[in-house]
Amino acid sequence: MARFVLVHGAFGGAWSWGPVIGPLRAAGHTVETLDLPGAGDDHTPVEDITLASYAGRVCEVLDSRPEPAVLVGFSMGGVVVTQAASDRPDRVASLIFVAAFMPANGQSLVDLSDLPEGVGDMIKENLVVAGDPPVATLPDEAVVAGIYNRCAPEQAALAMKRRRPQPAAPLATPVRVDDEVLASIPRSYVLTKDDRSMVPPLQRRMIGEHPCERVIEIDADHAPFLSATDALVAALLELAS
């Protein structure tokens, strides 16, 4: 049986993974989630939040048990798991990216977010970054239309209440990783086909730049744990097998 460590995306928290935890455990697997610094129920001050602190939190979880983990990153969490896997390659059995950024050494999330001409996403179009240190926010209308567009209204409403502003520093910080070490770790991808935030052309571009052993496409928006729970669970089980 696999040990899953699930890492959430920007604005989210461990709560994001709630619907998939029970089904994965029912299939006999160990499942661990975490709040990145400043996310979910964690109240680390914004000035102390960095990509290094994000990766460090994941490494703490990886180090807490003896068996290597199937390390899963969603959206921004793809950057975080990339750094953590390079820092603790012996603790990672495989990597699964769910609608997630896949950086190479020296790349940040911001570096990866450029889209082909004529292709837009509702995150970049509506993101507001302000403050010192800077924090990113999104208008509620853009969140519903761009992230929860396949979710039931009650699902979107509950998620909206739990979302928190996103510190900008981890988004602009390049990963410092060993690409050869990362290439030795099996890598898979779950592509979300109706994603208006991490749009499919961007996902496909990164898959082309970082070939994955397996790619599974699901009919989901940018909240697959809510809008396509069964399909996401099935994909995770297949990719971890």
Mean pLDDT of 81-107: 97
Question: Cis bond leading into 133, ω under 30°?
Answer: yes
- pLDDT at res. 114: 78
Predicted pLDDT of residue 202: 93
What is residue 171's predicted lDDT score, i.e. its pLDDT?
Answer: 96
Q: Phi and psi of 31, rounded to 5°? A: -130, 130
Kindly report the CA angle at 55 between 49 and 61, in degrees rounded to 5?
Answer: 115
Please check the confidence at residue 116 and state whether its pLDDT lies above 80: no
pLDDT at residue 96 greater than cutoff 80: yes
Q: How many CB atoms lie within 10 A of CB 111?
A: 15
pLDDT at position 77 over 70: yes
| Predicted TM-score of the model (pTM) | 0.96
Mean pLDDT for 64-80 is: 97
d(CA 119, CA 45): 35
Domains of the chain: 3-240 (3.40.50.1820)
> What is the per-residue pLDDT for 125?
80
Task: Kindly list the distances between the CA atom of residue 174 and the CA atoms of 21, 50, 71, 107, 171, in Å, as whole numbers in the listed order.
Answer: 31, 11, 20, 5, 8
Strands 214-218 and 3-7: unpaired
182-to-26, 65, 102, 241 alpha-carbon distances in Å:
30, 21, 11, 20
Summarize pLDDT for 172-225 with one digit per residue, the tens. 999 999 989 999 999 999 999 999 999 999 999 999 999 899 999 999 999 999
pLDDT averaged over every residue in the chain: 95
- Look at residue 223 and give its three-state secondary structure: coil
Query: pLDDT tens digits, residue range 124-180?
Result: 788 889 999 999 999 999 999 999 999 999 999 999 999 999 999 999 999 999 989
Q: What is the pLDDT of residues 3-51, one digit of tens each?
A: 999 999 999 999 999 999 999 999 999 999 999 999 999 999 999 999 9
- Report pLDDT for 120: 58
Can you give the pLDDT at residue 73? 98
The pLDDT assigned to 118 comes to 55
